[in-house]
Amino acid sequence: MAQLNQRSTAFGKRKWLAAAVSLCVAAFAGARLESSFTARAGGQDRLKFSRFVQTANTPAMKLLREGRDLLDGEEWAAAAAKFQQVIDGYPKDKDVDAALYWLAYALKQQGRPREAAERLTRLLGEFPRSNWAEEARAMLAELAPQTGDRRVLDESLSTSNEEIRIVALQSLFQANPERARAYVAEALRPGSTASRAFKEAAVSLLGSHGGRDSLPLLLEVARSQPDAELRVIAARRLADVAGEGAAEELARLYDAERDPHVKASILRTLEDVGGPRARAKVLEVARNRAENTELRQTAVRVLGDREDGDVLADLMSVYGSEADRELRAQIIRTLADMKDPRSFAKLVELARGAEADPELRREAVRQLGDREGEASVDELFRIYEAERDREVKEAALRALGDHESPRARARVAEIARARGGDRELRMAAIRILADEDRGGGVVELLAGLYDAEPDAEIKASILRALADTKQKAALRKLLDVARREPNLELRKLAIRLLGESDDPEAARFLEELLKP
């Protein structure tokens, strides 16, 4: 699994491009796709403007601040009037460029694209080195489909600024999808000078804006692009465009693909597609013993995420015929994540002893601790009481410690206090109380347990647990033991544990002990 995780991390390291790509993905969820620029103006550019209007206190800047406040309230017409006052009243002011830019933004928000474009063109003509020039070009590219200014799109697509090129390509898809698709094809051809970042955005936009006419190109990218991440994006967009009808092509892509990261992504895409063919392919991968174990585990997780039809029967059929312990453990974890009551019943069955493999049985017990609700707590109580295998009992104890239920925590504390109980299990309960401390008075509980405990070995376990909590109250208990404990070995242990603390109070105490 490490290999897939490393690849996923590497592919996930994108900067501003990730925002543009994520916007494209959001469009498929039913939201209207806003342009990259709109996202910037709604956040990054507005933040830049807010900082900018605090830099001086001139009359023009005062009007700009008032305009900023009106933008925040989405009072577009009133904001436009404020920015126009700056332009008309202070034509020689050094901040007229900012007023032009934000006037254009306010006009755009009112549905007046041609007037907005006029202000932006003036800004770029009169203030070519303006701090708002880049944003102005981006907004012009966004407005081009509405203004009919194809020249702006061509200039933007040829610029060296990646973000503006992406905005221009998105706008070109709105103005002329056929031409935009041809541009994407050119950017993806062998020998293209387009950056990888631009290619990724182009493939996403092809899927989000290209319509069904984009399917042949998406399929070609998914099949043959040398860059694995482009194949991943193309496969996802293929599914977004074609829906359930993409399942057969995705199954073929999976079979032809050699990169585990891409194959895993296709499996997750099949989950999103849904339908009988997608499910059949994922189940086929889960059952295929010749397949990479990590990919089989991914297939199991994908099946569990669907929770439809007879997925439980499918999972248990794989479980029953499978010899690979890692895959069976993944099925147990998947059962724990599923909401189907039948999956909980199956998990309980395995935890109680239907599973003969001790390690897998302990995994089933541990997973009960991750299930919400008191039913899992009740089952853990039963397993702990009925079980004779020490390791399974300890797994049940740990699962109770992991559970959020106050009843589970109280049971662990009860086992820790039980003087006549199994010493090893008592010490395990003490460690669990310290490990799972959620601010519920565990130090006080352990300190009281220490004072009442006659067994020196148990007391030593409590001291180590106190040290593990790293709490000030625990440090003070260790100091008290180090000063007053009649048992010399326990005093020495407390002193050693204080030596592992970075608390100044512990250091001062140790220095006092060294004095003659």
Task: Record the tokens describing residue 406, joined without a space.
Answer: 């106050």
Secondary structure (H, E, C), 47-94: HHHHHHCCCCCCHHHHHHHHHHHHHHCCCHHHHHHHHHHHHHHCCCCC
Identify whether the C-beta of residue 510 lies closer than 8 Å to the C-beta of residue 498.
yes
Q: How many CA atoms, within 13 angstroms, populate the side-chain half-sphere of residue 351?
A: 32
Residue bearing the bigger pLDDT, 42 or 339: 339
What's the pTM value of the predicted model, to 2 decimals?
0.67
Percent of the chain whose predicted confidence (pLDDT) is above 90: 56
Q: Among 216, 257, 263, 259, which residue's Cα sits nearest to residue 237?
A: 216
pLDDT value of residue 228 = 94
Cα distance between residue 48 and residue 446, in whole Å: 53
pLDDT value of residue 309 = 62
Q: Above 50 in pLDDT, residue 12?
A: no
Q: Of 151-165, 296-310, 370-384, where does mean pLDDT reach its minimum?
A: 151-165
pLDDT value of residue 195 = 86
Q: Encode pLDDT of 316-371 as tens digits.
A: 999 989 889 999 999 999 999 988 889 999 999 999 988 888 999 999 999 998 88
Q: Of 97-106, 183-192, 334-343, 431-440, where does mean pLDDT reach its minimum?
A: 431-440
pLDDT value of residue 390 = 87
State the maximum Cα–Cα separation within the chain, in Å, rounded to a whole number.
Answer: 91
Mean pLDDT of 190-195: 87
Q: Encode pLDDT of 463-481 as tens digits.
A: 999 999 888 999 999 999 9
Q: Above 60 in pLDDT, residue 7?
A: no
Indicate the pLDDT class of residue 438, thresholds 50, 70 and 90: low
Residue with tokens 């009843």: 407
Mean pLDDT of 123-149: 85
pLDDT value of residue 10 = 40
Q: Above 90 in pLDDT, residue 88?
A: yes
pLDDT value of residue 96 = 94
Identify whether the C-beta of residue 267 lies closer than 8 Å to the C-beta of residue 302.
yes
Cα distance between residue 153 and residue 179, in whole Å: 11
Backbone angles phi, psi at 107, to 5 degrees: -65, -40
Q: Encode pLDDT of 237-290 as tens digits.
A: 999 899 889 999 999 999 999 999 999 999 999 988 888 999 999 999 999 999
Indicate the pLDDT class of residue 149, thresholds 50, 70 and 90: confident
Mean pLDDT of 70-94: 93
User: If you average pLDDT over every residue of the chain, what do you get?
Assistant: 85
Region of residue 275 (phi > 0: left; psi between -120 and 50: alpha; otherwise: beta): left
Residue with tokens 């009808």: 245
pLDDT value of residue 70 = 93
Q: Of 23-27, 44-48, 70-74, 375-379, where does mean pLDDT reach its minimum?
A: 23-27
Mean pLDDT of 84-111: 94
DSSP class of residue 190? T
Task: Record the tokens describing residue 35, joined without a space.
Answer: 């342009």
pLDDT value of residue 55 = 78
Residue bearing the bigger pLDDT, 324 or 52: 324
Q: Above 60 in pLDDT, residue 34?
A: no
Best-predicted range by mean pLDDT (7-11, 44-48, 275-279) = 275-279
pLDDT value of residue 308 = 66
pLDDT value of residue 437 = 63
Cα distance between residue 130 and residue 52, in whole Å: 13
Task: Record the tokens describing residue 509, joined without a space.
Answer: 């105490």
Cα distance between residue 269 and residue 255, in whole Å: 14
